[in-house]
Chain A
Amino acid sequence: VKKLRPSLAEAVAEQVHDGDAVALGLALESGIPFAAVHEIIRQQRKDLTLIGPISDMAFDQLIAAGRVAKVIAAWVGNVAGGSGYGFRRAYEQGQPRRIVMEDHSNFTVGLALKAAAMGLPYLPTFTGLGGDIVRGHPRIRPIDDPFDGPALLAVGAIKPDVAIVHVQRADASGNAHLWGNLGLTVEAAYAARRTIVVCEEIVADDVIRSDPNRTMIPGFLVTAVVEEPGGALPSSVQGYWRRDFETFLRYHRLSKTADGYQSWLKEWVLDLPDRAAYLRHMGDAAVEHLRVNDRRLAAAANFAP
């Protein structure tokens, strides 16, 4: 099966459907697949469920665009500024539409994805006991320890329809090399029915095979792979892109009003056909300022038999 797609537009059209549960923003603040987020908005997918630990600005953008029915997350906002105003308008006022919020802690999101990745109905934990997140929660229930220890909580599995991850490099079969903080990237890709790998570079498969310990997602789990350099900006990608902090702050200020959000949406999503146009709209100087040109190479690992 051919997995390499010529464009993110094609991958999103094929892999992300109305009503899907979509996991993204899984590495936390880095490697957020913003290009895919913007493509989902352009293609007007609707009634999505979003799944992630923290969701730095990406969930806010999708919620404010009216694409989202439900959010399963530990934190929804903008790390640069705190509140996510799009999320607040939806939750507090039902604008542009009402959303259902399933509150979690980071660990319960992690356990729910891990359970699905392990093919289990739930995983037990002690986290959250004594607090309100786990009280009356649709996916977290008290259970007895079958080995007679103290009471536990069971965190039910979450199986996303599709996970979207941004990695440094992958081959045409979707075998993905990822380095830096991993967050819940691996669990989500293992758990999801479909996985889109967005990468900075498509490489020959012998590059992947030269360092198999760096393959965080084996290609047979991947349903589409797309080369989209800069597709995670304004979030960082280790060895490729620095974090564009100013853009997070600017969005934070603009999105404070629904009108401000709409002007951002028009300028940075709706009026642009794709990520290449987004980078051109940023301007060469801004893009080059964020590009990592330095080298801090890992020592080679000898795999000789």
Chain B
Amino acid sequence: MIATYTRKELMVVAAAREIRDGEVVFVGMRLPLLGFGLAKATHAPTAVGLFENGVIRDRPAEAFIYTMGDPSNIVGAIACLGLNDVMSLLQQGRVDVGFIGGAEIDPNGNLNTTRTSSSGSLVRLPGSGGGADIASLAGRTVLIMEHEPRRFRERVDYITSPGHFPGRRRGGPATLITTLGVFDLSRGQVRAVSLHPGVTAAQVRDATGFTIAIDDSVPATTPPSTDELGYIRRADPEGFWTGDRRKGE
């Protein structure tokens, strides 16, 4: 029997597959946090995770965590330092891959999490947090987005986290994981790598406010294995980050 899974569980699995064994990972919250744990438990056992509050871990937290500062993310850490310490490692080029999300994205992989007037009136968003730093300084970045037309825009109102631009020192957006598929951004053009099972190319084009390359032969995203799902459900037993499993959301 093929296990049923939520869209967010599939995104966690896609995020985990972006981490290679031995890499230093700047871990975000929510789905990337679970993705890091899943990668550690499967194909990347020697990956090391940095958190912007100063925590360095080489194994996932033992219990469910809401934030990177939760006591369970401190227990069993290999180091608890300061923000400038981990950001310095990032700036020095010691971080292979970082995960970031945004409210809006453009074809260059620029992310906006600061302010937007796309709905007609000004909406203030929370801001960069560490997003602009990860976008600027990581060896490559993986972007995680809800795939909706109002979020996929030809131009974003504000570039919080810079994508590809002339004169970039290193890195830049490599992969975009959305609620509809996985996309390559590494050549400054958005190209579908896989669409999630059941998603059509037309659906993706309708949800994207800019041109996106989708080959007729684009494969479906490989669904989570039983082992992968088992890990995710142990790490997020209530489905807090990965959605309501009964609804198959």
* Residues of chain B lying within 8 A (CB to CB) of residue A74: 127-130, 132
**A15 at interface by CB-CB < 8 Å:** no
Tell whether A75 pairs with B127 under 8 Å between CB atoms, given A28-B53, A127-B133, A181-B68: yes
Cβ B80 vs Cβ A132 within 8 A? no
- Which one, A91, A132, A235, contacts B159 given CB within 8 A? A132
Interface of B is mostly: loop
- Which one, A84, A181, A184, A187, contacts B80 given CB within 8 A? A181
Cβ A88 vs Cβ B124 within 8 A? yes
Tell whether A105 pairs with B75 under 8 Å between CB atoms, given A127-B91, A130-B136, A183-B53: no
**A133 at interface by CB-CB < 8 Å:** yes
Cβ A187 vs Cβ B84 within 8 A? yes
* Residues of chain B lying within 8 A (CB to CB) of residue A53: 52, 83, 129
**What is the minimal beta-carbon distance from A160 to any residue of chain B, in angstroms?**
16
**B122 at interface by CB-CB < 8 Å:** yes
Could you tell me the distance between the alpha carbons of A238 and B74 in the complex, rounded to whole angstroms?
A: 8
Q: Which of B71, B75, B80, B90 has the most CB of A within 10 A?
A: B71
- Which one, B126, B136, B159, contacts A84 given CB within 8 A? B126
* Residues of chain A lying within 8 A (CB to CB) of residue B127: 73-77, 103-104
Interface string of A155-184 (1 = CB under 8 A from B): 000000000000000000000000111111
Cβ A133 vs Cβ B160 within 8 A? yes
User: Which listed segment binds B: A107-115, A219-227, A277-285?
Assistant: A107-115
Cβ B158 vs Cβ A132 within 8 A? yes
Chain B residues 133-154 with CB under 8 Å of chain A are 133, 135-137
**B169 at interface by CB-CB < 8 Å:** yes
**B87 at interface by CB-CB < 8 Å:** yes
Q: Which A residue sits closest to B112, measured CB to CB?
A: A132
- In the complex, how many residues of chain A place their beta carbon closer than 8 angstroms to a beta carbon of chain B? 58
Cβ B128 vs Cβ A106 within 8 A? yes
Cβ B83 vs Cβ A243 within 8 A? no
**B219 at interface by CB-CB < 8 Å:** no
- Which one, B87, B114, B122, B162, contacts A129 given CB within 8 A? B162
- Which one, B67, B75, B122, B133, contacts A107 given CB within 8 A? B133
Could you tell me the distance between the alpha carbons of A56 and B127 in the complex, rounded to whole angstroms?
A: 12
**A79 at interface by CB-CB < 8 Å:** yes
Interface string of B157-174 (1 = CB under 8 A from A): 011111001011100000
Cβ B82 vs Cβ A106 within 8 A? no
**What is the minimal beta-carbon distance from A116 to any residue of chain B, in angstroms?**
13
- Which one, A92, A110, A180, contacts B84 given CB within 8 A? A110
* Residues of chain B lying within 8 A (CB to CB) of residue A181: 51, 53-55, 68-69, 74, 80
Known: A56-B67, A87-B124. 17 other contacts (CB 8 A): A28-B53, A29-B67, A30-B69, A30-B70, A75-B129, A87-B126, A104-B128, A107-B83, A107-B90, A110-B84, A130-B168, A131-B110, A131-B159, A132-B158, A186-B82, A236-B69, A243-B71
9 closest A-B pairs (Cβ-Cβ)? A29-B69, A77-B126, A130-B162, A30-B69, A105-B132, A181-B53, A75-B129, A131-B162, A29-B67
Question: Can you report 19 residue pairs joining A to B where beta carbons are below 8 Å apart?
Answer: A27-B69, A28-B67, A28-B69, A29-B70, A31-B69, A76-B127, A92-B122, A105-B132, A106-B87, A126-B136, A129-B162, A129-B169, A130-B162, A131-B159, A132-B159, A180-B74, A181-B69, A243-B67, A292-B71
